[in-house]
Amino acid sequence: MSRSSRANLIITRAGRNSLHREWIADPRQQNFDLLVAAYDPTIMSSDEEGVSYRYVPGPKIRGWMELFREDATMLDQYEKIALIDDDIQAKSADLSRCFDVGTEFALLLWQPSLTWDSYASYGATLRNNNFRLRFVNFIEMMCPFFSSAFLRHLLPTFELGLESGIDLIWCSISDEKARSFAIVDEISVKHIRPVGQQKAMNGFLDRNYETDIRACLELFSTGWPSCVASSGVNKRGDVVEPQFKVSIRTLSQIWNVALAPKGHRKDHLRRVLGHIRHQMTRKPAYVLDARSKLLEIIKARSKLHLR
């Protein structure tokens, strides 16, 4: 990418119906550059101010890795990088503010919450109006924001050949886990397409999301690390802890289920009830020795390729 004075970068794997142009609709509110890594060549455009296009065919995560292999200088050029799906509806100001929140709280990995009329996979990612943000042990790959230094540590997960599940490992790779990862409730974006609608584009031609998730958990010899908030920050800026106090402020999420997309209210209720149960009964779980295990896996695979 061309040299920019901005400290933040958004990368999206974009197709014909991508919403990325909405993200840059108000340049005055924009504190990030945008790299559109198109898997559909018909959306390619000449470079604009603060926007670059590249044609990167194939699945999402493999495409991310190809980008960083071709231009690893992005990790030095930008302080923070977000990888956002092209079916996320968001304003320039909200995405810019999300980068700022990462700076304010010195986060390594974080995400905006999802609006209640979004299609969601996890009840924990839906907006909780009692908080500015919640410190959690899991960030979904739908719209993650990274410090570039931490993203550098995570890049080997993009080389595992999996198109789902690697986000379950990300938070475990950090040595610093207390208040390093967060779901930002004061900023919400909308996921406009049902989960899995783009499966073919994401490489799931002969397998499904669950297959890759199971494969990832088996690689790291771990169980499912449910998303749990250990603490949070309320709207007044006060820290809410211990975990039990966060859990009490999660019960009210049940009333928001009525805002779910048409035909998805039962799905939202099931996910929210599951999140409340996990929040009330489980501690934040992490994969033991995740970074060393990741390096061992990559090293073993490299040896196989050399034979």
DSSP state letter for 147: E
Residue 305 pLDDT greater than 60, yes or no:
no
146 falls within a domain = yes
CA gap 145, 44 in Å, rounded: 24
Is residue 51 over pLDDT 60? Answer: yes
Residue 5 banded pLDDT, cuts 50, 70, 90: confident
Q: Give percent above pLDDT 70 in the chain.
A: 93
Cα dihedral sign, 271-272-273-274: positive
pLDDT of residue 81: 98
Is 130 in contact with 233 (CB distance < 8 Å)?
Answer: no
Q: Nearest CA to 148 among 7, 2, 307, 292? A: 7
Say if residues 37 and 56 touch (Cβ distance below 8 Å).
Answer: yes
The answer to the question of residue 121 being in a domain is yes
226 and 285 in contact (C-beta within 8 Å)?
A: yes
Alpha carbon distance 122, 170 (integer Å): 16
The mean per-residue pLDDT over the stretch 264-268 comes to 94
pLDDT band at 50 (very low <50, low <70, confident <90, very high): confident
Give the residue carrying structure tokens 């033991």: 288
Contact partners, residue 2, CB within 8 Å, separation at least 6: 47, 52
Question: Identity (one letter) of the amino acid at 289?
Answer: D
Is residue 3 assigned to a domain?
Answer: no
**How does pLDDT run across 125-175, given as a tens digit for each residue?**
999 999 999 999 999 999 999 999 999 999 999 999 999 999 999 999 999
Q: Which domain holds residue 235?
A: 8-306
For residue range 67-99, list pLDDT tens digits in order. 999 998 999 999 999 999 999 999 999 999 999
Which among 110, 108, 105, 136 is positioned nearest to 123, based on CA atoms?
136
Burial environment of residue 206 by CB neighbours within 10 A (0 to 12, 13 to 18, 19 or more): exposed
Q: How confident is the model at residue 2 (pLDDT cuts 50, 70, 90)?
A: low
> How do residues 103-117 score in pLDDT, each as one tens digit?
999 999 999 999 999
Q: What angle do CA 274, 279, 283 make, to 5 degrees?
A: 125
- Structure confidence at residue 21 (pLDDT): 93
Give a yes or no: residue 217 inside a domain. Answer: yes
Full DSSP string of 76-136: HH-SEEEE--TTEE--HHHHHHHHHHHHHTT-SEEEEEEPTTS--S-GGGB--TTEEEEEE
**Other C-beta atoms lying within 10 Å of the C-beta of residue 69:** 11
Q: How far lies 61's CA from each of 12, 166, 208, 273, 304, in Å? A: 11, 10, 15, 30, 22
Mean pLDDT along residues 20-41: 95
pLDDT reported for residue 197: 57
Ranges 159-163, 183-187, 262-266, most confident: 183-187
Q: How confident is the model at residue 45 (pLDDT cuts 50, 70, 90)?
A: confident
User: What's the pTM value of the predicted model, to 2 decimals?
Assistant: 0.94
For residue 181, the domain's CATH number is 3.90.550
Number of domains forming the structure of the chain: 1
Query: Residue 1 domain-assigned?
Result: no
Tell me the per-residue pLDDT of 194-235, one tens digit each, with 9 for 90 and over: 975 555 555 545 667 799 999 999 999 999 999 999 999 999
Q: Give me 280's structure tokens.
A: 């009330």
Residues β-bridged to residue 89:
190
| Per-residue pLDDT, 306 | 44
